[in-house]
Amino acid sequence: MIYIKENNKLKEICKEIKDTANIIGIDTEFLRKREYFPTLCLIQVSFFNGKEFKTILIDTLAKNLRLKPFISILQNKKIQKVIHSPIQDIEAFYFISKKIPNSIEDTQLMAEFCGYKHYTGYGNLVKELCGVTLSKSKAIQRSDWSKRPLTKKQILYASNDSKYLIEMYEILKRKLKKEGNFKFYEDEVKRKFHKKLIVSVINDSWKRLRFKLNAKNFLYVSVVKNLCRWREEKAIDNNTIRVNIFSDSAIRSIAKKVPENKTDMKKNFAENKKISELSKADTRGILKCVKNGKRDYCKYRKSVKEETPFYYEPKGTKNIKLYNKIVKFLQNECVKNNIASELVLNKGNIVSVIMNFEKIKDVFYGWKYELFGKNIETILKEKN
């Protein structure tokens, strides 16, 4: 294990990776406080240089350490980066470089295409595939990775987190090809970790709300979606948690009242300090969201015969039989193809497709359409 906190050493090891390796294993340790992006504390990298297997720890908090050589490795399309469940690692890398790493491979996702449970942990997969039992110390995992010096236990724990990634990748790749699911995995990983990842996070932010949207009208939901996009963009730009920008309750209030102008804002929210004391720029942003929400609502109304309440959960919908039929079909097909059902069984998306709120090829895209989408289209036609 090599611990790096000097620029010369980092340049040297990054050159070695570039010259000798076409695949590396990566993990990170970070802190999440009240910022949007995690604070990167440590990067663990494992690779084979043609002669020996090496594991390096990059101390990202070392004074004056410049990560540019490693960012270059992340952007190198010829080098595969194997990460287990990489979304938070990608967020941390995006914050320091404003770029999404290229050629990402996700061992957790690979496992799900091999029939393993959804969100199978790194330690469980290492034991299953490599026959090695790793320490599951929650105390070390949750320890303060920003404190220096790191303890011997922290260093051992961190180095193990990248040590088996390449071996797991090779085993899972063979399994995927044997199952015939490798091309499906490739399609999914390209979509999941593409360059427009942050755009997807912004557009889907409304799906992570803490309050229920069920049985609301579509105008309300359309305004909520636009407000959530606006809030997410501001949170990213300011690197702060969403509630510091605009609370869920404030989003509910705006979507309920649907103000058209500044006068409406003052009249409807005079007693709501969080809204009435907004800056002029934020007020303009919110009114634009309302306007866009109305536009989206009008487009939706043109595509449906009659107005019905919006649902993002199956309970209470008029189409519960149709929903259950689609779910049963998906469950059976996932078992048949040895794919974790959670990869395709998103309840909200299925309801939205049934209600024509989301297009089937947006939900069941690419490999999903090939395996499931065409049959679901047939099931939906039977409804009409």
* Co-location of 57 and 180 in the same domain: yes
Residues 119 and 238 in one domain: no
d(CA 301, CA 299): 6
Residue 296 structural domain: 202-303
Q: Determine the average pLDDT of the residues in 5-9.
A: 97
In 3-state terms, what secondary structure has residue 213? coil
pLDDT average, residue stretch 75-83: 98
Please check whether residues 7 and 77 belong to one and the same domain: yes
pTM of the model: 0.91
pLDDT digits (tens, 9 = 90+) for 281-302: 999 999 999 999 999 999 988 8
Surface-to-core class of residue 333, CB atoms within 10 Å of its CB (0-12 exposed, 13-18 middle, 19+ buried)? middle
314 inside domain: no
**How many CA atoms lie less than 13 Å away from 348 in the CB half-sphere?**
10
Please check whether residues 129 and 268 belong to one and the same domain: no
Residue 118, helix vs strand vs coil = coil
User: Does 215 reside within a domain?
Assistant: yes
**Does 242 map to a domain?**
yes
Average pLDDT, the chain: 93
Q: Are residues 28 and 75 in the same domain?
A: yes
As a whole number, mean pLDDT of residues 366-374 equals 94
Q: For residue 200, what are its two tokens?
A: 């997807």
The pLDDT tens digits for 208-231 are 887 778 788 999 999 999 999 999
208 found inside a domain? yes
Residue 315 has pLDDT above 80, yes or no: no
Do 230 and 348 belong together in one domain? no
pLDDT at residue 384, as a whole number:
57
Please, what is the Cα angle at 334 between 332 and 338, to 5 degrees?
Answer: 120
Q: How many domains does the chain have?
A: 3
